[in-house]
Amino acid sequence: MEHRCSAAGPAALLPHRRFQADGETYVYAAETGGLFRADEDVRDALSALAASADAAVPPEVVSDLLRAGLLQRGGRPARPGRIAPPALALRTLVLMLTESCNLSCRYCYEACEAHGSPPAGAGGTAREMSAETFLRCVEFLLDASGESRSLSVVLFGGEPLLRFPLLRAAVPQAMAMTGERGREISFSLTTNGTLITDEIAEFLGRNGISVCVSIDGPPEVHDLNRPYGSGRGSYADVARGISRLMKYRNGRPLAARVTLGGGAADVGGTFEHLRELGFDEVGFAPASAAEGSPAALAEEELDRVMEGFRELASRYESDVRERRMPAFSNMTQILALIHRGEPMPYPCGAGIGMLAADPSGTFYPCHRLCGVGDALGDRERGIAVDVRNRFLDRARKRREPACEPCWAKNFCSGGCYHDAYLRQGDLFAPSTHYCRWIRELFLLGLQTYVRIQNETPTFLDGPVRRKGDCMKHLKPVNRKAKAIGKDSGDPPVVEAQGTIPFMHTCTSVFNPGYEIDWTGSTKQLCTPIETDLFGTTDMYCWWPGQAPDTYNNPDWNADCTRAMKDWMKLKVVKPEW
């Protein structure tokens, strides 16, 4: 006996994506985030229902489709009413140490906002953060982060190393302040690499400050994109800085962050060059630029970038197969997102688990929104709840109605706020100019995920388990699908992403950013912020630095007499994997 479905009747199809990999058919359910391998009955049912809402489908197939979130009883779900914004779960604070920079990059978003001039304070000069403001902001992070033990501070600018004297004085004080409260704090720094001396590199390594270098490829590309104000290229100075970072990094990985602008879309060549320089991880993001700007990637260049990403995805699979650590960090982020499978109501952690402080100590949702839109508060008065709620309400509504029918909506959730601001003059406009590209990128991630799961299942989260599955025609592949498949109760209720289980770095949606990971921290981000030693114990960070076993390395912790203060002295090994 078959069950007849109709739009006016009991059920209707929900957004999903079918695709082929390794000769099998798979289906990703947008509403639940579940990824399943589909049998012939499911394939036929999806095709029939897509052609006619009144198609006849076997009851057991209907049951599986409902449970997976591919079918909705009573037609399409109604749009939810107003949902209270998530509570502030602050774990990451970006500190804008200065608005000054010693380079004149052709795609700099700061210059875009100021019509080609460096951003300035009321006196017409670039502002800088004081040591007092630095420490007060860290104190605010400690006060506002609840029971979270592990916190992150991102050192940003401008070029933050222009303020090295501030870092040299304030970072040890901030670490001491944090330790006195029984908390842990990690520092991350993004730099253009031109100012790195032996003194700076030694300081960064000694204090365990993770470093990401902005570098766009070989000299002919990098010097075009990232020159000094005089027009002289900066590549040679960056290369010297990288060699110094390598000298003092103490076993910590080094990441490169590549900005892809118009005329520079050779992803494969850039990746190879940066790997040869010694970078452990390489991530790519497009230049933020207004529509029609020569700095923006043209449509045909986006196609070239996608071809390059496909080649790097294939290399990623080979690295996993051969037990090498993959370096293509965009794919790492995408695989982590697919693996967890949780719906994403917001594109990033801006205003949720992360805030940014401008040089005066005024808080904004993220570093790229400093001076753009309404401030959320300051270190003295705290966060204005009404302003933050208004921001998140508008952020959530930006997906309606353009994004709701899209099968990839939980991958980008409308895209980067700042990119929308530059392109459309509206923080809350969906970044529709990237829609086709984002869908292709997410599909590439799904295909890569399936092939890795089939060939090397332990790389992700163990093999797919068959025992206890409640579905006959759909076999779970990712973590979310397994949870759905083992639930013998009623099918999950689709609530159009009413909760926020995690946030992820916006690098995975091909937009630059410094957000938070699924735990609300930066501990597990690979691009552009590095993980520390204690963030390398699971699939979300591929760097092989691990605390070794005492049997083979009896003195690995000999220099670590106090865990809270001396953990950076732990010896690091790189085991066979």
Q: How many CB atoms are closer than 10 A to CB 336?
A: 25
- Give just the sign of the alpha carbon dihedral 234, 236, 238, 240: negative
CA dist., res. 69 & res. 29, Å (int): 6
Q: Name the amino acid, one letter, at 164.
A: F
CA dist., res. 481 & res. 468, Å (int): 13
Query: DSSP assignment of 429-477, as one string?
Result: S--GGGHHHHHHHHHHHHHHHHHHHHH-GGGTTSPPP-TT---SSEEE-
Inter-residue contact 387 to 377 (CB < 8 Å):
yes
CA dist., res. 388 & res. 459, Å (int): 39
Measure CA 131 to chain center.
29
Which residue numbers are catalytic? 532
Residue matched to tokens 């916006």: 506
Q: How many CB atoms are closer than 10 A to CB 577?
A: 11
CA dist., res. 208 & res. 228, Å (int): 29
Inter-residue contact 156 to 211 (CB < 8 Å):
no
Label residue 324 exposed, middle or buried (CB < 10 Å: 0-12, 13-18, 19+): middle
Closest of 495, 488, 492, 516 to residue 343, by C-alpha: 495
Inter-residue contact 58 to 478 (CB < 8 Å):
no
C-alpha to C-alpha distances, 314 to 176, 275, 328, nearest whole angstrom: 45, 16, 10
C-alpha to C-alpha distances, 63 to 59, 78, 169, 479, 489, nearest whole angstrom: 6, 21, 63, 20, 12
* E strand segments, 269-423: 281-286, 354-357, 362-364, 377-378, 382-383
